[in-house]
Amino acid sequence: MRRARKHANTIQLMRKRKSRADVGDDVLRASRDGEDPSFEVLEENNASIVADRIERLEKIISLKKEAIPSVLDDERNEMETAKKYAALLERVDQRIAHSQNYCRAVSLTIFCIIYAVTLLWQVDNDSTCGVEIAVINNIINSLPGGVQGGFLSSTDDFWSFLSGSVLGATFKDPQCGDGSCDIPTEFPGFGRFGCIADCGRYAETTTISVDLGDFIYNEVKYNPSKQPCSVDSPNPPCQYLGAVNRSVTTSPKFKYNIYSTTMGDYLWDQDVDANTIRRVEVPDGEFQLYLYQTQKTSEAVDLVDIYQALNTVPSTVPARSAERDFDYGDPREYLATTSALISDINQYCWGPNQAAHNYVCDWHPSLDTTITALASYGVAGSVLMSTGMRKTSTLAEVNFCGALPQGSLGLTNTSNRDYLRSLAIACPHRRRLPPPMTQSLSESAGADTPRAVGTGAVGSRCVAHSQCDQSVRDPFYNHTGLFCARSSSSVDYGTCAYCAFCQADSAGISPCLAQCGLVGDAPECISAARLVADFQCQSTFNFSVYRFNPPGQAPTVVPGSQPTLPELTQHNLLVGPLMITQVRRAHVPCSDAGNGPLRALVNRTSCLGPRDGSPFGVDPTYLPASQTYNGKLLMSDAYNVSTEVRAISTTASSGTVFTKMAPYGFFPHQYDGVTFGPKEENLISKADVDTFKVYFDGVLTLSQANAMLSYMQDGGFIDNQTSSISLDMITYSSDLNLFSILVITFDWQDGGSISWDYRLHSRRVDLYTLGDAQRGLEYTSLVLLGLFMAVDLRRFYVRLRSAKLGSLFSFDTLLEWGHWALMAYTWATWYRLCDKAASFRMLTQQDYWVLANPTANTRMLQTNSTSESSFLALHALVTDYVLNSSEHYNALASCSLVLFVIRVLRSLEFQAHLGVITRTITAAWSNLLHFVVLLVAVFIGYAVAGHLIFGHEFHDMSTVEDSMVMHFWIILTFDPTIFYDQTRHAAPEWIFHIYVWTFLVLCGYLLFNIFLAILVDAYMIVRQTAILATPLHEDIAAVVTHAAKALVLPREVFVSDWDLRRRLVLLLNVTQRQRAVLPRRRQVLDLLAAALQHNGRSLQLPGGVEITGRVLRALAKTPAQDPQASAVAPLGGEELADEDDEQEAWVEDLLARYSDPINAAELEAAVVADVRAESLKRDLSTYRVHQRVHDAVARVDALLDLVAAKVLGVDALDKARAAAPVRAISNSSAELLQVTVLKARDLPKKDILRALDPFCLVCLTSDPRNPTGKHTYKTRVVTGERNPEWNERFMFPLATDSRTSPLLSLVVMDFDKCSVDDLVGVVGINVMRDVPPPGAPCLEQWFPIQADPPLKSAAVLLRLERLGKPDPSLPSDPPPPPSPTPAAPAPAAAAAANEGASGDGAMELLSVGQGDEQA
């Protein structure tokens, strides 16, 4: 009810005011329109009527006088009130924006923290770091340079790294005896199989023995006495040749091995040499005995040697036809081996090194040896099985091979000699001499006969056939009688021998033929092709052993089990194989050189061009010089001879070069070695076409892995076409559910160096390790992202509608939307990563074993195309998930977080204490931009220069980009170890030192410190502002308190900033709406005018706006929402004085909230700044007036000098000047002020290149309208001196009756011949206050020189003395004498002074300054 009454009274008061104002309007309107007859009386002549009408007009005018001021006051009050409310609204908006900034900063900070925690929950770097550090320590650090990368010195470093740090650390051979039975590599053992120490013994085995030997070995074996024949034992049982020494180079080296189908391997890991007895335990099953000739005798025995031993015509000797190097029974090898055996026996029996006659040779005539040797190729013996009770059974019988059916019987079987004679052919030339033993002595030999004639036995010395026993029967031919054969040890006598040793001599006629006939002769030449036409030699013998199992049912010795996967590091299993990929470049012709000789050199050389996918290398298992050589292998069993084999040249031990066929060792990825053609399209990885891959399956042992490594080395995996090699390894930790991938890349650069680098990354398969909590936090981050984007979108829309286009492209706007777009893309990347993790599926480990046969002896690198395709798909998936996508997401997330931090810092810029960083950067931005331009120019220049000088030797400067990075690190670290030694030898000593030290001084010290100085200066300015600002805790407390009061207290007690803003906006809008309607406008203006009356405290706003408490009380009565036009709440009237206590509290809160706190230091600083500004204005006015006066004085002095010189003459003028008294200006009513300008100190230079030439202008004034007074004096110019001395004295009249204190002004100038003189500074002295009165001692004092910017120690020394009245006898007001230095300033100076300083302007400025000073 009370409020209703107040409202009614206010409306009634407004109506009264309106009626008073409208009365005059109605009267005037009626009078103007002719409705009032009062105006008619003016046209009549009736005096009384006129007087009456005049009286009525006077009343109307008096009423109108009262109404007109009221209307004018209403208009003025309306404008003032709108201005005040607009100022208050601006202040309210500032507080609201301040609170909103706090809210936005806090919300952004909370969002940033939530986002950071979300990112932390998405990774498990503690676990991944442990895995990756283990990989780095075990593998990466073994390479030169460690984690920083580097270079290999040669390809040997690559092989050493691969062998020791990779294969040696990954693959293991089972250690028998470690107490652990590691199935399947370890199992119950026997022989060389299994591990007896860890798994026990396999009981169901049978012992077999193998006894195989060559011809010499069997001679020993079948001679019981194993003693050579002698004279006492001449019978055939002593045909022992075990003492014959076989030549190492011509020995065939027969070997054998037994393959067990039950074990799937050979019984011996190395082939067994023949001529030994070996016993071995075997399980039940089928076996194959393989015989090998491991040395090619055909390469050591040439055709001439075969011809000499076997009488074979060289042209008939067949070439080697065996496909395998270790083939057993090749015809060419048969002939070469037989001839070598014959040569060794003949050398033993009849060679020149024979010390004494060996009687065993008497039982081995040459032809008999030849026939026997032709029937004794290879080995002979048997394979026996123990059956108990010292009984054995023969499993396999092995016999010698030969071309003669009955050759083992020698000459005792006449069919052998006849067979040889059937092979006789015409000799191309005469045969060589037979061995010495086969030649008879000449009948005329003159030597003493050691025995009686006709009694010499076999081996007895003789000189003639007749001395040998002719009754002895030849055991070979049944011929009776011996002949005397020439001895190899003496030419004087021979020995008696059987006729089987008789051979034809070189002439075809032998003296022994007459004695023996043709019984011992052999064909001179035979055909080797016909000899070996029916030669057959068995190299494989099958047998079986079944003692514990039924025949045909082999036992299972190795239990089935999954192999143990290798570990790259502890607990990190190798997934799939270890993959090595090589990229090769094809040889192409080099480009033309510049001149003829260079072009000729280039044309003989090939260069590397595009990628090459042609097969290369060789399978080293077919190379005798290789560690993996295996001569037992048949090339056609593993390779397509027509397409996969090429010709290579090898050199034998004898030096003979042989050309043989060998298969390629390495084939491109798209080639299938099983089908000998391209793979199916779906099995080819497009990214790996024309690459060469080698896989080390996890099922391999270390021995097998090393064998494959030897295959790569010996096969030429790295050659001059190698471009790059990458080593890929995928591991999985089951404890952490973590995949890791390591990729090491080796790059063969064109310059010859081998650089390497690596990539290593890990990622969990299960990305939500924390479950629902992690998902909830992610959803919270997404919701906050959506809310912030909606708020910014609304703000963007408002700015767009308000046509604030500049704010749409501001830095903050671009930063906001760039950040939100990056965050949205980051979340999209995360969910794509989650989708990949959810869809990740693996096959069994066996499906990723790529090698077709890990235990293969040839074509070790052959892959299973299906398994290889599966592994490459897994590798691509893991690479994309772990390496590419994870690294991409981590990079995006980190960038989003960094931008978040930047936005948080930008949001805190409104707070003086929290926005120090951004305010510092903003304050220094312009200087930093200029500095960066300079720094970039200098830095790039030095980087390019360093690249040119040192890049040819120093890798870190080999490119401009690397050079820039290295120079940056040099500036940042100042570490000489990273560049000094590396660059010192890359350039001459003098250029090295000039470059290094100038760079360090210019960039490292000068520019870097300038950069820091720019930031420090900006920080000091920002810090000074922050010191004067409201403390942070008080500011936050005020915002929090206001928010709390707005929530808790009712509106009648407390009005919030938003509520107050709505009230102010409402009032201003109502005012604008009612301007078109006169009553409402007047009503509102009357209310505002009443509310603007002073009543106690007021609110001071910027711009000189003052709002009183009465206005705030009126504001309290304004509704918070927009009322109807007829329901506007009254703000004035008599009832406004009846405020209740709630309104008083409301008003007091507004006064306290919006009043600026008085800061004593800030107020003092403001006062000092105002005084300094006014003082500078005054000094500038004085300086400009002095310049104008000085110009005029100089011109007058020059004219006076000319006049005086014309009138008096130059000499008289000089004398007059010398005798002239001190310049003085006298005034009968004034004192005198004597000013002596002594000297100055620490004057600043005004130009960089020109020295200081100081002089002074001195004046005295008592009138503010005339700053320079009547007289201005100038001292002489002291050239090039910052501490000048003048010692010049001037006299000024001093008026003592002036109302203002006289002011002595001294202006220090810098003389400039080419331009306007520069102002150094000004000195102002209050004469009456600072100078002692007449009769007192003079004042001699240093006065500081005032300038902008302030000078630290610059001052001028003056001597001031006030004198009494001058002598009346002196003339009054004589003209001032000329200046000691009458040189006039340059025309430019005068023009500038006249243009810049007008009299009125200068006096006005000076008067303002003096007025403030006196106040």
Kind and range of the H or E run holding 869 = helix 865-878
The pTM (predicted TM-score) of the whole model is 0.65
Rounded-to-integer distance, Cα 219 and Cα 242, Å = 6
DSSP code string of 1320-1386: EEEEEEEHHHHSPPTTSPPEEEEEEPB-SSPPSS-EEEEEEEEE-PPPTTSPSSPPPPPPSS-PPPP
Tokens of 460: 């007895």
DSSP strands (E only) in 854-921 = none
CB burial readout 485-499, b (16+ within 10 A) else e: bbbbeeeebbbbbbb
Distance CA(462)–CA(496), nearest Å, equals 6
Q: Pairing between strand 1254-1261 and 1303-1310?
A: antiparallel
Range of lowest pLDDT (78-87, 329-338, 939-948): 78-87
Residue 1181 has pLDDT above 90, yes or no: no
Please report how many Cα atoms fall inside a 13 Å half-sphere around the Cα of residue 1278, on the Cβ side: 19
> Tell me, what's the pLDDT at 258?
94
Q: Which tens digit of pLDDT belongs to each residue from 1286-1302?
A: 999 998 888 766 566 78
- 301-314 burial: b if 16+ Cβ within 10 Å, else e: bebebbbbbbbbbe
pLDDT at 206 over 50: yes
Tell me what the mean pLDDT of segment 1095-1102 comes to.
57
Spatial distance between the Cα atoms of 1112 and 1058, rounded to a whole number of angstroms = 16
Does residue 1391 register a pLDDT over 60? no
pLDDT of residue 1087: 44
Is the pLDDT assigned to residue 1084 strictly greater than 80? Answer: no
Specify which residues 748 forms β-bridges with.
754
| 713-717 mean pLDDT | 91
The pLDDT, as a whole number, for residue 1090 is 45
Is residue 902 classed as helix, strand or coil in its secondary structure?
A: helix
CA distances to 568, 580, 667, 759, 760 from 745, in Å: 18, 10, 21, 9, 11
State pLDDT tens for residues 438-452.
444 433 333 333 444
Per the model's pLDDT, the better-predicted residue between 478 and 1371 turns out to be 478
Per mean pLDDT, which of 270-274, 1087-1091, 1391-1395 is the most reliable?
270-274
Nearest to 577 by CA among 875, 946, 941, 935: 875
The kind and range of the H/E element at 731 are strand 722-733
Burial class of residue 1300 in the structure, from the number of CB atoms within 10 Å of its CB (0-12 exposed, 13-18 middle, 19+ buried): middle
Grade residue 1127 by pLDDT with cuts at 50, 70 and 90: very low
Contact in structure between 1226 and 1375 (CB atoms under 8 Å): no
Of 1339, 1179, 1322, nearest to 1240 by C-alpha is 1322
Confidence of residue 688 (pLDDT cuts 50, 70, 90): very high
pLDDT at 858: 86
Name the percent of the chain lying above pLDDT 70.
Answer: 70
What's residue 1093's pLDDT? 41
Q: Which residue has the higher pLDDT, 1133 or 1019?
A: 1019
The pLDDT assigned to 249 comes to 80
Average model confidence (pLDDT) across the chain: 76
In the prediction, which pLDDT does 1065 show? 81
The 3-state DSSP composition of the chain as helix, strand, coil percent (nearest 5) reads 45, 20, 35
Both tokens assigned to 246: 């076989």
**Three-state secondary-structure class, residue 588:** strand
The 10 Å Cβ neighbour count of residue 442 is 14
Supply the pLDDT for residue 674: 85
pLDDT for res 1237:
95
pLDDT band at 591 (very low <50, low <70, confident <90, very high): low
Higher pLDDT, 1161 or 563: 563
Cα separation, 835 vs 776, in Å, equals: 18
Which residues have C-beta within 8 Å of that of residue 578, sequence separation ≥ 6? 166, 167, 170, 695, 696, 698, 727, 728, 729
Question: CA-CA distance, 1183 to 367, in Å (whole number)?
Answer: 141
38 pLDDT tier (thresholds 50, 70, 90): very low
Residue 492: predicted pLDDT: 64
Instruction: Report the candidate in 127, 169, 166 with the shortest Cα–Cα distance to residue 756.
Output: 166
pLDDT cut 90: percent of the chain above it: 18
Q: Residue 671's pLDDT is what?
A: 92
Do 1125 and 1155 form a contact (C-beta atoms < 8 A)?
no
Q: In whole angstroms, what separates CA 660 from the centre of its chain?
A: 50
Amino acid type, 1151:
L
What number of CA atoms fall less than 13 Å from residue 1133's CA on the CB side?
A: 21
Long-range pairs for 907-911 at CB < 8 Å and ≥24 separation?
A: 907/101, 907/104, 907/105, 907/108, 908/105, 910/97, 910/98, 910/101, 910/105, 911/101, 911/102, 911/105, 911/1032, 911/1035
Helical segments of 582-668, H only: 596-603, 635-638
Dump pLDDT digits (tens) for 135-187.
Answer: 898 899 999 888 888 889 889 999 999 999 999 888 888 888 888 887 777 88
How many Å is the maximal CA-CA distance in the chain?
A: 219
Whether omega for the bond prior to residue 1349 falls within 30 degrees of 0, making it cis, is yes
Q: Name residue 707's amino acid.
A: A
Q: State how beta strands 205-213 and 254-260 pair.
A: unpaired
Contact 1311, 1254 (CB under 8 A): yes
Coil, strand, or helix at residue 1312?
Answer: coil
Please check the confidence at residue 825 and state whether its pLDDT lies above 90: yes
Residue 1319 confidence (pLDDT): 86
Predicted local confidence at residue 1088, as pLDDT? 43
Q: What would the pLDDT profile of 267-323 be if each residue is shown by its tens digit?
A: 998 899 998 889 999 999 999 999 999 888 888 888 888 888 888 888 888 988 887
- Helix, strand, or coil (residue 293): strand
Quote the tokens at residue 1064: 């102010």
pLDDT value of residue 955 = 79
More confidently predicted of 1176 and 255: 255
**Each residue of 809-838: b (16+ CB within 10 Å) or e?**
eeeebeebeebbebbeebbebbeebeebbe
Output the pLDDT for position 446.
Answer: 35
Mean pLDDT (whole number) for 1304-1320: 84
* pLDDT score at 635: 83
Single-letter residue type at 1047: L
Mean pLDDT over 657-680 rounds to 86
Q: Measured between alpha carbons, how far apart are the two ends of the chain, in Å?
A: 57
d(CA 500, CA 412) in angstroms, rounded, equals 10
- Report pLDDT for 224: 46
Q: How many other C-beta atoms can be found within 10 angstroms of the C-beta atom of residue 1329?
A: 7
User: Is the CB of residue 262 less than 8 Å from the CB of residue 285?
Assistant: yes
Q: Tens of pLDDT along 493-551?
A: 777 877 777 765 444 445 676 667 655 456 778 888 888 888 889 999 999 999 889 88
pLDDT band at 821 (very low <50, low <70, confident <90, very high): very high
The DSSP string of 1126-1140 is GGPPP--SGGGG---
Confidence at residue 632, expressed as pLDDT on a 0 to 100 scale: 81
Contact 68, 27 (CB under 8 A): no
Q: To 5 degrees, how large is the angle CA 168–CA 723–CA 758?
A: 50
Predicted confidence at residue 708, as pLDDT, reads 92
Give per-residue pLDDT as tens, 1228-1276: 446 888 999 999 999 988 776 778 899 999 988 876 555 556 678 889 9
Closest Cα partner for 185 from 556, 576, 554, 559?
Answer: 559
Query: How far, in Å, CA of 873 to CA of 866, rounded?
Result: 11
Is the pLDDT confidence value at 226 over 70? Answer: no
pLDDT score recorded for residue 872: 93
What's the confidence (pLDDT) of residue 1298? 58
CB 469 within 8 A of CB 455: yes
